[in-house]
Chain A
Amino acid sequence: MADLCRPRPAAAGLGRRRPLTAPAAAGALVRALTDRFPDLSDSLWTDEDTVEVQADGARNLELLTAVRDDPELRFWWLGDAAAVDYWGPGQDDPHFEVVYHLYSDLHPTWLRIRCRVDRANPHIPTITGLWEGAMFHEREMYDMMGIVFDGNRDLRRIYMSPDYRSFPQRKDFVLPDDAADSPAAGVVPLERPETWELGRFRESATSTSAHPHAANGDQPATDADTSRPR
């Protein structure tokens, strides 16, 4: 599988900690956060319009409840909840991250909370108790990344069909390999250059069938897949 993945050496630099340089606008928020969470003061990071906190996934509920209900913070608007997969060659610490973006009318910056999730055991508490609207975000993250939100009472697939078995937005999802086991098997994987046999298009042009293999009664593409290393 590794031969299909482009090497990404720079991925290791993603988690690099930068010096804390708080712009004046974010100062009040940074101070308030370090007062309330002194153990997280090392993981704070800011740029011109964002204050960022990194924490463990198990703490997401505690952190989000605190920043939402505290009268000095009052981050009442869940802007976005997204998952990121840190995986690939050069990534020595593969893990998921669930990222929340919050807005408060008291502070002029976005608050970004990055929660680390174990890749081998991707579980994180749900936040649908805080914002009902997190439901579709979490269903999408479950569908696309395979992160399980404990306590979510409607964790179904939302985009893919219910019997689909892969998690397509993971970085290690490569279509031909995973799809060979899924109901989508048989789709001609045009993404792979080795399947670009242009001759079959010439043959199928004369036939009335849309399927390229129907013209010569050839094997479907999935059988050819078994010859390649997995």
Chain B
Amino acid sequence: MTKTDSDIRIPDPIDLDRQEEARLAAALRTGTPGAGEEAAGWPGPAEYAGFEMVGIPDRPPQTEREAEMYSLGEGEMLLNMGPQHPSTHGVMRLVVKIRGEMVTDLDVVLGYLHRGIEKLCENATYTTVLTYVDPMDYMSAMHNEHAPAIAFEKLYGIKAPARAEYIRALVVELNRVFSHGLMMGFLALDMGGLTPILYGFINRDEVVDLLSAISGQRMLFNFFRVGGVNWDVNDEFINRLSRWRVNVAKSIGDNEQLITQNEIFVQRTKGLGVLSGERAISLGVSGPNLRASGVPFDVRKAHPYSIYNELEFDVITQPGGDTYARYLQRVAEIKQSISLIDQIVDKMPHGPVQAQVPGIIRPRPGRAFGAVESPRGFYSVYAISDGEPNPYRFRMRDPSYISLQVMPVLMPGHLIADTMAVMASLDPIMGGVDK
């Protein structure tokens, strides 16, 4: 039977309501939810007969691992989380294979925020690159600028003045404090506790106001320059810093009191997602996540950059390797950063904050590698110069991108609801993951 023009009619909303009513009535009468669908003009069971539910990728698997992930065993199903799940810390997708409530496998799907920053930077001058890297890992924009600044200075063969290095270390540690402080809140938020994130944002706004007093921007600071920093410290910054320093121990402590001894929090996170030290090294996990597994690897100690060899601090580790240890590691590092800030302010020398650098930098052909310890771990830049004013190759290694690989390792055997807790304890930032 072919349809003529008179058969095609625009559905009337009231008519649709009547159909829906009839369908519901039929379903109620017979006690089967599908009954009455045919009467309402919906495809009946016969039309579904040849139709087979496909897995999430609508194409044959391309690799061995993909075939393993997307083939379902007895009683298993795939559950899609994202890409706009509120607690995935950005735009990413997790495909979770579950049996009942238990996760049996997990696939991380990335690329929703990919902007090709590496390629952009290869077409920008060395000075401009430092503005492009800011929005990558937007929770630690200062660290994002630090690594390329180190690499470019190595390429160009200059050193920043001593005062500039101290200011760099100061702003970088301030950035670490607010990044870790927010992580405490987000971890609690992803498990249903709303209050800590509010305290976290109060703390964060104080630090952000501090950093905007010195750099002029609240979030994407654009503060570092090749051969120095943009501004010297000013009165407003010093006033705010001293006020912040008086209050910070109490405000962080308040937040900590809400979480650290909280029975619900401890029971949810202890023993959840245990990552051994060897496995963490093999998987490339870095930063607080690696140290929470008991591996004392910190770029500030391993390859001291800036002024970190003049400061006194120890590499903190936690024995546990679970979600709770990763939380405790952040809290301990906040306190360590505050003590580092004290030392930096005490020792800061006088002098210029910017070396003499031409407007357009043309380093000699060569290669340079600069690595810093960002709040998420080992953040490095590999820059190649061919004598032009823009880098021939600009490569960034983002720690949260590599850390996401542990999700399929940690999750099997845990509940779906714990996925977000483990995810938040790794503290990934999708701006950095997707570059």
Which residues of A pack against B, CB within 8 Å?
Answer: 8, 10-11, 13-14, 16, 47-50, 52, 76-80, 82, 84-85, 99, 101, 103, 105, 108, 110, 112, 131-137, 144, 152-162, 168-169
B23 to chain A, nearest CB (A): 37
A97 to chain B, nearest CB (A): 9
Residues of B within 8 A of A76 (CB): 281
Residues of A within 8 A of B114 (CB): 159-160
B434 at the interface (CB under 8 A from A): yes
Selected interface stretch from B2-10, B199-207, B401-409: B401-409
* Of listed A8, A77, A134, residue having the most chain B CB within 10 A: A77
Dominant secondary structure of chain B at its interface with chain A: mixed
Residues of A within 8 A of B250 (CB): none
A111 to chain B, nearest CB (A): 10
Residues of A within 8 A of B350 (CB): none
Residues of B within 8 A of A48 (CB): 154
B393 to chain A, nearest CB (A): 5
- Indicate whether A80 sits within 8 Å of B397 (C-beta atoms), given known contacts A132-B405, A136-B402: yes
Residues of B within 8 A of A78 (CB): 284
B231 at the interface (CB under 8 A from A): no
A192 to chain B, nearest CB (A): 14
In order of increasing CB-CB distance, the 6 nearest A-B pairs are A133-B284, A154-B65, A10-B387, A159-B111, A82-B395, A159-B114
23 contacts between A and B (CB under 8 A): A8-B392, A13-B365, A16-B365, A49-B303, A49-B369, A77-B297, A80-B382, A82-B393, A101-B369, A131-B282, A133-B285, A133-B402, A137-B402, A152-B63, A155-B63, A156-B63, A156-B66, A157-B111, A158-B110, A160-B111, A161-B111, A162-B59, A169-B118
Q: What's the Cα separation between A206 and B330 when bound, in Å?
A: 53
Name the one of A14, A152, A153 contacting B386, with C-beta atoms under 8 angstroms: A14
Q: What's the Cα separation between A169 and B251 when bound, in Å?
A: 45
A213 to chain B, nearest CB (A): 25
Q: Count of chain B residues with Cβ under 8 Å from any Cβ of A?
A: 46
- Indicate whether A159 sits within 8 Å of B62 (C-beta atoms), given known contacts A10-B386, A13-B365, A137-B402: no
A115 to chain B, nearest CB (A): 14
Specify the chain A residue showing the minimal Cβ separation from B113. A159
Q: Is the CB of B283 within 8 A of A8?
A: no
- Indicate whether A11 sits within 8 Å of B386 (C-beta atoms), given known contacts A16-B365, A136-B402, A168-B116: yes
B38 at the interface (CB under 8 A from A): no
B57 at the interface (CB under 8 A from A): yes
Q: Is the CB of A135 within 8 A of B302?
A: no
Q: Is the CB of B371 within 8 A of A79?
A: yes
B378 at the interface (CB under 8 A from A): yes
Residues of A within 8 A of B118 (CB): 144, 169
Residues of B within 8 A of A168 (CB): 116, 119
A14 to chain B, nearest CB (A): 6
Q: What's the Cα separation between A155 and B116 when bound, in Å?
A: 20
Q: What's the Cα separation between A155 and B384 when bound, in Å?
A: 26
Q: What's the Cα separation between A132 and B388 when bound, in Å?
A: 36
Residues of A within 8 A of B154 (CB): 47-49
- Indicate whether A110 sits within 8 Å of B303 (C-beta atoms), given known contacts A10-B386, A153-B63, A160-B111: yes
Q: Is the CB of B297 within 8 A of A84?
A: no
Q: Is the CB of B382 within 8 A of A101?
A: yes
Name the one of B59, B119, B378 contacting A169, with C-beta atoms under 8 angstroms: B119
Q: Is the CB of B397 within 8 A of A82?
A: yes
Q: Is the CB of A132 within 8 A of B64?
A: no
Residues of B within 8 A of A84 (CB): 384, 393, 395
Q: Is the CB of B405 within 8 A of A133?
A: yes
Q: Is the CB of A134 within 8 A of B66?
A: no
Residues of A within 8 A of B388 (CB): 8, 10
Q: Is the CB of B64 within 8 A of A153?
A: yes
Residues of B within 8 A of A99 (CB): 382, 395
Q: What's the Cα separation between A159 and B230 when bound, in Å?
A: 34
Specify the chain B residue showing the minimal Cβ separation from A52. B367
Specify the chain A residue showing the minimal Cβ separation from B66. A156
